[in-house]
Amino acid sequence: MDEQLNFAPCGYVSITDDGIIIAINQTLLDFLNFTRDELQDQHINSILSVAARAFYQLYFFPLIKLDEKVEEMYISLRSSCGKDMPVLLNARRRHSLGTFINECVFMPMQKRNNYESELLEAKKLAEEALGDKNKALSDLERVLHTLENKQEELLKLNEQNQEYQERINKELQLAKSIQEQALPVPIKNDILQIASYYKASSELSGDMYGYYQIDEHKYGIIILDVMGHGISSALITMYLRSLFERLIANGVSVDLVMKELDQHLHTLFENDDNARHYCTGIYLLIDTFSKQIEYINSGHPSAVWLDRSGKEVELESTTPPIGLLEGLTFEKVTLPYTEGGRLLLYTDGVTDAIGLNKLLSLFTKDPAMPLDTLKEMVVQCLEDKKHPVYNRDDQCLIFIDIL
């Protein structure tokens, strides 16, 4: 790296598609208080905050591969002492020697805090000057002049922040679109039929579900609810989705699917207990050949099985939520059936709005009712509860008919 780039007035790093740092300038090393040997050939996660790691995997990397550039992205880097450092990121992608290199430039964003601190200090000096009759008028004029200058600087920063907020809102809309497009297409065949409903309480959702046909007779169905809602929960759901989609599609056993999700959540937050999130969830493996349902429920509201005779069976919680406690043991439960039936899975945002008794009364009202009709009835009840009191959580429903 030439000296001009090494000591440029901004941080610089180049990384491979695997996230490995292949070049980093001295400016960024000084900013984060690392030595070159500590970061060279290490993964980019070494200097990313916990939230930025998920943002890198789910948003930055797909975007730079698509557009070959990223402009004015606001993230936080982690210094050697564990302090989060806010930065503005610009990046571009180029092809070099048969491989792709992603070049990133980081601009520190701490000036606003410094300006505000200086403004408060200047105001304090002005008040002290006004209260002290013995101070010279020249000192007061100097303080007032400083105050005016800082106010002008703050106004300019506020204008910049407004522009950044508009860009963030656009990025949130894009992230919401990506999240919605990730939802699966309902399965409808001669053996199994699925209808689902999904509604976020805010721009982004902490609820996520998926259903997959593994082979001719096996189907995997999963529903997750990450603690809280909004950007952080949505990033975690998308992070977990990429994992459970691969595991289920490969026919991994029920217990190993939940164990892998649990371990990945612990790994994600192993260096930051304050940012730790947990997640409730239930995974079902339906085998229509052997006529049985294997499941694990990790702290999630009970799923409900309704057989052809109208008998109800609750698929209750079998373990604490994933990501909450270390060393959990996941043991599957097997539910056999004979002539098929109907399943209900949901998140607590649904029962918060209409109540569990109302939901179950609609679900069990007519076991022969078409799934789409049943879904419309429940959604209509949720629509009737359109009020801030009833819409503080994400809402997710899955109805499954085993024929």
Domain containing 398 — which CATH number? 3.60.40.10
Map residue 5 onto helix, strand or coil: helix
Q: In this predicted structure, what is the pLDDT of residue 179?
A: 67
Same domain, 189 and 137: no
Same domain, 139 and 275: no
Q: Answer yes or no: is 121 within a domain.
A: yes
3-state secondary structure 221-280: EEEEEECCCCHHHHHHHHHHHHHHHHHHHCCCCHHHHHHHHHHHHHHHCCCCHHHCCCEE
Same domain, 355 and 290: yes
Q: Answer yes or no: is 99 within a domain.
A: yes
Maximum C-alpha span of the chain: 95
Same domain, 85 and 72: yes
Alpha carbon distance 288, 256 (integer Å): 21
- Domain encompassing residue 152: 111-175
What's the pTM? 0.60
Q: In this predicted structure, what is the pLDDT of residue 142?
A: 84
Q: Answer yes or no: is 180 within a domain.
A: no
Same domain, 252 and 301: yes
Q: In this predicted structure, what is the pLDDT of residue 47?
A: 95
Q: Which of 175, 199, 218 represents a domain boundary (last residue)? A: 175
Same domain, 155 and 269: no
Number of structural domains, the chain?
3
| Interior/surface letters 34-63, b for 16+ CB within 10 angstroms, e for the rest | beeeebeeeebbebbbbbbbbbbbbbbbeb
Same domain, 265 and 398: yes
Rounded to 10 degrees, the C-alpha dihedral 50/52/54/58 comes to 180
Q: Give the CA radius of gyration of the chain.
A: 27
For residues 186 and 194, the answer to whether their CB atoms sit within 8 Å is yes
Task: Using CB atoms within 10 Å of the CB of residue 333, give its burial: 0 to 12 exposed, 13 to 18 middle, 19+ buried.
Answer: middle
- CA distance readout (Å), 210 to 45, 187, 195, 198, 284: 28, 11, 12, 11, 11
How many alpha carbons fall within 13 Å on the CB side of residue 23?
11
Would you give per-residue pLDDT tens digits along the chain (403 residues)? 788 999 999 999 999 999 999 999 999 999 999 999 999 999 999 999 988 888 888 889 889 999 999 998 889 999 999 999 999 999 999 988 888 999 999 999 876 656 666 777 777 777 776 666 666 677 778 888 888 888 888 888 888 878 777 776 676 666 666 667 778 888 999 999 999 999 877 656 778 899 999 999 999 999 999 886 667 777 888 888 889 999 999 999 999 999 999 999 888 887 676 667 889 999 999 999 999 999 999 999 999 999 998 899 999 999 999 998 988 999 999 999 998 999 999 999 999 999 999 999 999 999 889 999 999 999 999 988 765 555 567 889 999 999 9
Same domain, 225 and 337: yes
The count of other CB atoms within 10 Å of the CB of residue 234 is: 28
Residue 10: give its domain's CATH number. 3.30.450.20
Same domain, 77 and 132: no
Same domain, 166 and 234: no
Q: Answer yes or no: is 159 within a domain.
A: yes
Same domain, 87 and 131: no
Q: Answer yes or no: is 382 within a domain.
A: yes
Same domain, 237 and 223: yes
* Beta strand residue intervals within 317-402, DSSP E: 333-336, 341-346, 395-402
User: Bridge partners of 93?
Assistant: 102
Q: Answer yes or no: is 383 within a domain.
A: yes
Q: Which of 135, 157, 175 represents a domain boundary (last residue)? A: 175
